[in-house]
Amino acid sequence: MSRIGKKPVEIPAGVTTELGGKSFKVKGPKGELGMTFVNEVEVTIDGNVLTVSPKDDSQRSRAMWGLQRSLAANLIEGVTNGYSKELELRGVGYRAQMKGSNIVMQLGFSHEVNYTPRAGVTLATPKPTQIIVSGADKQAVGQTAAEIRSFRKPEPYKGKGVRYVGEFVRSKEGKKK
């Protein structure tokens, strides 16, 4: 039995949901998102509660049960509160600035790194060494943050690079004579 799948998803006030067959659409103050449920689960909406249950006792339907419930809960959370990830730049001369909706970063290369965010994701730089990625879609926010981090991952000797706020990078000892 899936512990996550058994939990019902509360639909807060101000959020409208539409369930048509296997397609699920959610509209709220932060935007509109949608997903398609797999055939192995059954979804019902009673008032302001969404419940997901497996169709049968097969391995796949039990595996999809908790996953589909989590994805639906993430959509509802995204349109009500939204998601955000914070990145920090560490290194001498490492900085970022906004140019319209794009971000331009100096990361120790001989050139600037320009990044255009995907649709539905907004970037902000409150400080030159801090980047905030926010949006309604959890997957899009996480993917955008990972793409920005991949331009210069934190290296283990000096700790320079782009890292998530609160990320621990184990430092290695340098060469010895």
Is residue 114 within 8 A of residue 147, CB to CB? The reply is no
Please say whether the beta carbons of 87 and 78 come within 8 A: no
What is the DSSP track for 112-145? Answer: -EEEPPPTTEEEE-SSTTEEEEEES-HHHHHHHH
- Mean pLDDT for all residues in the chain: 93
pLDDT by residue (tens digit) across 15-62?
999 998 889 999 999 989 999 999 999 999 998 999 999 999 899 998
Domains of the chain (ranges, CATH numbers): 3-80 (3.90.930.12), 83-164 (3.90.930.12)
- This prediction has a pTM of 0.88
- Do residues 116 and 102 lie in contact, with contact meaning Cβ atoms separated by under 8 Å? yes
